[in-house]
Amino acid sequence: MANTVNRVGRVIQLTAVDTDWLLSDLGLSQSNIESIEFRPGATLDILVIKEGSATGPAIASLFSTSADTITKYLKGRHDLFLDVSDCTLSMGHSITIILGQ
């Protein structure tokens, strides 16, 4: 299965993430990011998002202790990189990225 990515306006929705993903693949390098919402598929899911590449610094590390949505607010321009080798993602997870204006 491959990542499912949908964009509508300022909202990017990722589901079934099983391969690395880079925001600039959508032509949005160094975009203003408002927030990242992580809906885990199970408790103990982990989402790590880095700046630009697998070797970039982590800018969001989200760890679920329940099925509740976790929101990370970001300010400034970022080129988000999701390295699945740093994540634990169960079936049913989703990631929503809200772009700033």
Closest CA to 63 of 51, 53, 72: 72
Complete domains list, the chain, with CATH: 4-99 (2.60.120)
Residue 53's Cβ-count burial label (10 Å; 0-12, 13-18, 19+) is: exposed
Residue spans of the chain under pLDDT 50: none
pTM: 0.92
Which position has the token pair 């160094």? 30
User: pLDDT tens across 33-43, in order?
Assistant: 999 999 999 99
Q: What is the pLDDT of residue 78?
A: 92
